[in-house]
């Protein structure tokens, strides 16, 4: 389908705020992600009355179980992760009544035959449209199997515009550039690109979305959003937790693959992108991918100059002693996997030439803290005799992504008294205080967007491949040169010394 036809389809479905009747098939329907995130997200939408009429959930998986057994699993998940006991019980009962299950191996033809028959039967009984979302909440290794089977059974593409098929794919989208290209090629055999929604839950967070609103709906900041006024930008995604029960997965991934290649780079593109001509999925994603293509490539032999890796040792977090990464379950006692990454990147275009973007992410940091910090240039001359220019703090705009969604602007003000003494003060905006409303969880927002056919906050295949292309030299360098000093930072600290030097060598420091 051409971009023009895809855009026309998007505009058509956006006319219905609820996105139209549809069935969501969750492959991996009894898995951890489904129970913790997907089902609670759907139920919260049901509580708010924004799910489409006759919305149906169909779990799919290898365990063979009855519909009643699956509904019990769903009920327990909603009680544990969506506070369903506090909800209107009629809403809960109606939601559960619209849950079904089909069991079997993902490679088995019978699974798809039974699934298709169930969906069509439900549609006839309710006289509703046969719109479908397939959610792949499974290990990436079975993505090609599922998409191939959906295509073989005529369940992926449709002729005409009376109903639609969409597919949501969880990360990781491959583990390197080659595997990402192969995965995209396999998906393309079954689905057209406009049908594919590669989900990155980070982009569903309110503050991340608000970057665009803040920049492009306010006339005061956008004229300053460039190399003439901004000194540098810091993006932090810190977690106080360790790898918990994900040691096996993390050994294969590491922080560079798990966070930098997707979440953090995507946030960076929203900060650095040019204003799109319209707030349309393709227009917005075009500008984001332009930023990624403008990021200065790091050569393999330069990796150590621009990237720092770390691994946490035992330490103290929130006044509790915690073990090091190598002592975690399912982790190699001599593991060389990084749990921390810091990087310095440049966007080589007219707007950002010479402005460094400092990125960092890590496990077992002092606190959970994800934010974007925009450091403006200092005033060129300080006229007040009691303060030198380099002693006055720069103006900093901080967009807090989690845990407390907020925006803070620091500026200098005079301290009351006879002398001209200056002090940094803050203007602060908090989402919850301003709107007096519970902020929707990221998965809820993104799933609703998929129902509406709005792909603005989802990854396009070219974005995935460019992101992998950017980090491949770093991955290759680290693969060939194992770290000799791991672990190199205690749990409960902000990472290894080399991370601090990345900024202090430039005359800057991390915001703490």
Give catalytic residues, as residue numbers.
263
Residue 497 is encoded by which pair of tokens?
């010394």
Quote the CA–CA distance of 445 and 437 in Å, as a whole number: 15
* DSSP assignment string, 281-305: HHHHHHHHHHHHHHBPPPPGGGHHH
Farthest-apart Cα atoms in the chain, separation: 84
Sheet with 307-310, strands from edge to edge, namely: 307-310, 340-346, 356-362, 230-238, 369-376, 396-402, 406-414, 422-430
Nearest by Cα to 66 from 40, 35, 30? 30
In contact, 238 and 360? CB cutoff 8 Å: yes
Bridge partner list, 341: 309, 361
The SS3 call for residue 427 is strand
Residue 511 is encoded by which pair of tokens?
């915001």
Quote the CA–CA distance of 386 and 384 in Å, as a whole number: 6
User: CA 121 → CA 81, 246, 295, distances in Å?
Assistant: 31, 39, 51
How many CB atoms are closer than 10 A to CB 239? 19
């Amino acid at each position: 389908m051409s971009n023009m036809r895809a855009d026309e389809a998007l505009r058509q479905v956006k006319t219905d705020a609820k996105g139209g009747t549809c069935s969501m098939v969750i492959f991996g329907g009894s898995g951890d992600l489904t129970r913790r995130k997907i089902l609670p997200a759907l139920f919260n939408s049901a509580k708010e009355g924004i799910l489409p009429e006759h919305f149906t959930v169909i779990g799919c998986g290898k365990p063979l179980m009855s519909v009643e057994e699956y509904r019990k699993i769903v009920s327990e998940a909603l009680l544990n992760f969506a506070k369903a006991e506090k909800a209107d019980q009629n809403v809960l009962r109606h939601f559960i009544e619209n849950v079904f299950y089909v069991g079997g191996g993902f490679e088995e033809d019978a699974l798809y035959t039974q699934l298709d028959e169930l969906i069509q039967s439900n549609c006839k009984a309710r006289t509703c449209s046969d719109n479908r979302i397939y959610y792949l909440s499974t290990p990436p290794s079975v993505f090609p199997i599922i998409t191939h089977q959906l295509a073989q059974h005529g369940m992926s593409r449709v002729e005409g515009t009376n109903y639609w098929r969409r597919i949501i794919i969880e990360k990781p989208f491959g583990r390197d550039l080659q595997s990402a290209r192969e995965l995209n090629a396999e998906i393309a055999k079954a689905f057209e690109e406009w049908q594919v929604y590669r989900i990155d839950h980070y982009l569903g967070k309110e503050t991340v979305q608000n970057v665009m609103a803040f920049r492009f709906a306010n006339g005061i900041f956008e004229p300053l959003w460039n190399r003439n006024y901004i000194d540098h930008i810091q993006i932090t995604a810190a977690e106080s937790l360790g790898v918990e029960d994900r040691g096996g997965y993390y050994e294969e991934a590491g922080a560079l693959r798990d966070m930098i290649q997707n979440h953090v780079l995507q946030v960076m593109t929203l900060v650095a992108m040019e204003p799109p001509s319209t707030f349309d999925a393709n227009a917005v994603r075009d500008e984001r991918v332009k930023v990624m293509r403008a990021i200065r490539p790091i050569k393999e032999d330069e990796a150590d100059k621009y990237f720092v890796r770390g691994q946490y040792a035992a330490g103290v977090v929130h006044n509790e002693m915690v073990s090091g990464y190598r002592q975690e379950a399912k982790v190699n006692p001599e593991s060389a996997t990084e749990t921390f990454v810091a990087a310095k990147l440049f966007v080589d275009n007219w707007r950002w030439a010479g402005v460094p973007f400092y990125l960092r992410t890590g496990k077992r940091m002092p606190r959970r803290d994800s934010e974007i910090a925009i450091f403006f240039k200092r005033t060129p001359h300080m006229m007040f005799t009691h303060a030198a220019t380099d002693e006055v703090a720069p103006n900093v705009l901080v967009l807090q992504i989690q845990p407390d969604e907020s925006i803070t602007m620091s500026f200098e003000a005079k301290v009351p008294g006879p002398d001209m003494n200056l002090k940094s003060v803050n203007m602060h905006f908090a989402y919850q205080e301003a709107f007096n409303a519970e902020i929707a969880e990221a998965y809820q927002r993104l799933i609703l967007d998929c129902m509406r056919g709005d792909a603005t906050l989802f990854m396009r295949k070219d974005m995935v491949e460019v992101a992998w292309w950017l980090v491949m030299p770093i991955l290759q360098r680290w693969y060939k040169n194992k770290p000799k000093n791991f672990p190199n930072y205690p749990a409960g600290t902000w990472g290894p010394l080399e991370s601090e030097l990345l900024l202090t060598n430039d005359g800057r420091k991390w915001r703490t």
